[in-house]
Amino acid sequence: AFCSEDCESAANQQYHQYLCTNSKVNTNADESKETTFVKYVQDQNSKYPQMIAQLFTAMVAEELDKKNRPKYNSWDHIERLKGAELTPTDKHANETKMIKELLSSKVPGIDEFLTDEVYLMLLGKMNENAFDVISATEVSVEKSTEPSRKLDSDNILGSSVYKISSYLCKSPLDDANVKISFNGNKITVTALKPIKKDEQIKAYYN
């Protein structure tokens, strides 16, 4: 389900056509890999492996959209994020392998680029920077054990990483110079005081 036709169109361009079954670009072999991957993340109640896969498809979409190509792409923003230090496990190695198999025919160069070390780095950044996404109505969704920046609500739909997070520095409440607020998966950053050029943007969150 999508909130609007524009949202659905953007999702299809950025990741749906690459990651979902019944897509026009998919072969039967592709659909088998996608079904396996989707079942895995559902069984594990994990969001971040799929979000990492979506990051790579979004980068492809950005490169193809020459008219609206941003000055800084998704990878530029991800690189700026601080990440948690993680210990590699067989589970992480398996997730890396699944994503590479899923995207090998759709994301040029991913076999060489997505090493176990790069995947672990990205997962650490997700753990450190993903915010809870809150529903305006009561929902019944199994809570994930994956780390996230917590918000004051029990109606959690999922998680989201925002590009602007790469510019935000966590600070005590009395030292923050911006306020962050959320409406579903939309983030708003509001200045609390005048901010000078080159001054660090500081926000309070849990």
In the chain, the largest separation of any two C-alpha atoms, in whole Å, equals 56
Of 13-22, 112-121, 124-133, 163-172, minimum mean pLDDT range: 13-22
d(CA 77, CA 81) in angstroms, rounded, equals 7
The pTM score is 0.79
**With b meaning 16 or more CB within 10 Å and e meaning fewer, what string describes 75-110?**
eebbeebebeeeeeeeebeebbebbbbbbeebbeeb
- Measured CA to CA in angstroms, residue 142 lies from 8, 48, 53, 154, 206 at distances of 24, 15, 22, 11, 21
Interval 69-122: pLDDT, tens: 778 888 999 998 989 999 999 999 999 999 999 998 888 899 999 999 999 999
d(CA 102, CA 95) in angstroms, rounded, equals 10
Domain ranges for the chain, please list them: 1-129, 132-206
Q: How confident is the model at residue 132 (pLDDT cuts 50, 70, 90)?
A: confident
Interval 136-192: pLDDT, tens: 777 767 778 888 876 666 777 788 888 888 888 888 999 999 998 888 778 899 999
